[in-house]
Amino acid sequence: MNPHFSFELQATDPVSGARAGRLSTPHGSIETPTFMPVGTRASVKALTRMQLLSLDAQILLSNAYHLFLRPGGELVAEAGGLHGFMSWPRPLLTDCGGFQIFSLKDTMRLDDEGVSFRSILDGSSHRWTPESNMKLQQQLGADILMQLDVCVSHRAELPEVELAMQRSAAWARRCRVSQDNPRQALFAIVQGGMHTSLRLENIARLQEIESSSSPFEGYALGGYSVGEPHEVMLESMAAITGALPPDRPRYLMGLGNPTSMLASINLGMDMFDSVLPTRTARLGTAFSSEGRLNLRNARFARDFSPLDPLCGCSTCQHHSRAYLRHLIQSREINAAVLLSEHNVHYLLDLTRKARAAILAGNYQDFLKDWYDSAASADY
């Protein structure tokens, strides 16, 4: 196993698969379960590094596709990697950018060797292979790199999903072979849509790769939270988590709504990311103990109570719903800042509480209280 990374399982819920763990990286450790705020272009929208540090975000996520287009991997490497460029002292993860490329559809061409695409910025042509993507992510210098994978729509037919899974698995091998910097961890991505047999085959192929080269430091689940119903996702996940190696962190990609996150933790997921808290904040919406609040609503115009009376974040300590609504209506930048701070705090705090409950051995009670609360309507 890589000496720069280790994952210690600290507690497992006896009833479900919920786990509490600690992932050590060269930039510090990450206590799981955890939520990772997304800074797609090396910046979490509307939040400064000081705010993210005071929110105690343990790890941030960035995106290799967007950084490849601008400012480019070489420039970031010259700045000392993303840690130096963003001035972020804690762990970082870069997503490979596959999801973004495969969303381009018309301007993307895929074959067994790699993928060709045009820049959304200037139309220039580019080609990525698993090897060139690893080189890019090595230049970006995050602690955790994601393999280049092949993503398909959740509406894709079985043959297309199967081909994508086969290519993803073949690319996982090529990424594993070319990612040889021990100070960077490589996470494999399991694809296969909602087809249990494909997902299980993908996991088996990843384990074959490990036996002939070196282990993946973590396993991610891709292709969930892409528009399928919450129950369908959970059912699919429940059927495959038992096949994942228990001694590796498990990252559910792109999921950030509170109820789905807690249900996924119950199935043994450890890491989450989503643009949901910052995107909804910019739209004037806040997570809360009363469910999601749309502050544009006129009923908040004279509501001088805190945004969420049960929240300990700085926004809720100082500002009323009426004030926040006024900022949104007046298109003040601070509306996005204050709501983003609250929403990111909300998810970080929720995963911290989930972790504490797992460590205390009462995650099932915690989950029951959640489902009994008004907040659980939100997914």
Binding site for Zn ion (CB under 5 A): 311, 313, 315-316, 342
Task: For residue 104, count other CB atoms closer than 10 A to its CB.
Answer: 15
Looking at the Cβ atoms of 44 and 140, the one nearer to Zn ion is 44
Residue 315 CB, shortest distance to Zn ion, in Å, is 5
Identify the burial level of 183 via C-beta atoms within 10 angstroms of its C-beta, where 0-12 means exposed, 13-18 middle and 19 or more buried.
middle
Residue with the two structure tokens 């990772």: 36
Cα 221 from chain centre:
10
Give 186's contacts (C-beta < 8 A, 6+ positions apart). Answer: 134, 144, 145, 146, 147, 175, 176, 179, 216, 217
Identify which of 104, 92, 42 has the alpha carbon closest to the alpha carbon of residue 71.
42
Looking at the Cβ atoms of 25 and 315, the one nearer to Zn ion is 315
| Three-state DSSP state, 195 | coil
Helix or strand run (H / E) with residue 199: helix 196-212
Give 346's contacts (C-beta < 8 A, 6+ positions apart). Answer: 258, 277, 286, 287, 288, 308, 311, 313
Residue 334 CB, shortest distance to Zn ion, in Å, is 15
Residue type present at position 154: H
Looking at the Cβ atoms of 236 and 315, the one nearer to Zn ion is 315
Residue 131 CB, shortest distance to Zn ion, in Å, is 44
Q: 287 with 378: CB under 8 angstroms?
A: yes
Looking at the Cβ atoms of 89 and 309, the one nearer to Zn ion is 309
Mark out the alpha helices in 254-362 (DSSP H runs): 258-266, 276-282, 314-318, 321-329, 333-360
Residue 344 CB, shortest distance to Zn ion, in Å, is 10
| Three-state DSSP state, 97 | coil
Looking at the Cβ atoms of 19 and 342, the one nearer to Zn ion is 342
How many C-alpha atoms does 277 have within 13 Å on its Cβ side?
A: 31
Residue 281 CB, shortest distance to Zn ion, in Å, is 11
Q: 24 with 261: CB under 8 angstroms?
A: no
Looking at the Cβ atoms of 260 and 315, the one nearer to Zn ion is 315
Residue 51 CB, shortest distance to Zn ion, in Å, is 13
Residue 326 CB, shortest distance to Zn ion, in Å, is 17
Identify the burial level of 196 via C-beta atoms within 10 angstroms of its C-beta, where 0-12 means exposed, 13-18 middle and 19 or more buried.
middle
Looking at the Cβ atoms of 3 and 312, the one nearer to Zn ion is 312
Residues marked as catalytic: 95, 273
Residue 56 CB, shortest distance to Zn ion, in Å, is 14
Q: 62 with 142: CB under 8 angstroms?
A: yes
Residues comprising the chain, all counted: 379
Looking at the Cβ atoms of 139 and 315, the one nearer to Zn ion is 315
